[in-house]
Amino acid sequence: MVDMKKWESKKIGVIIEVDYEKCKGYGDCVLACPSSVYELVDGKTTAPNIDDCIQCCACQEACPVNAIKHHSCQ
């Protein structure tokens, strides 16, 4: 079963989804993001600072298992 987690910023109109079946907590998104949007929690990534996203798409490109779907980067 797909386990998609979703974060949404109504402030800047950004949606990020992470497939928790694929996410292994490698942290590449944490390192890649210039705005510190992501934090690892219990071995999975979360996007608590989504309001700071500048929509550069680095997180989606950095993920080695393609777990991140950033709606501005499709």
C-alpha–C-alpha distance, residues 4 and 36, integer Å: 21
Residues that bind ligand SF4 (CB under 6 A): 32-35, 37, 53-59, 70
Q: How many CB atoms lie within 10 A of CB 25?
A: 15
Cβ atoms 23, 39 nearer than 8 A: no
Nearer to ligand SF4, 18 or 24 (CB): 18
CB of 31 to ligand SF4, least distance (A): 10
Nearer to ligand SF4, 24 or 35 (CB): 35
- Encoded tokens for 68: 């991140």
Nearer to ligand SF4, 55 or 66 (CB): 55
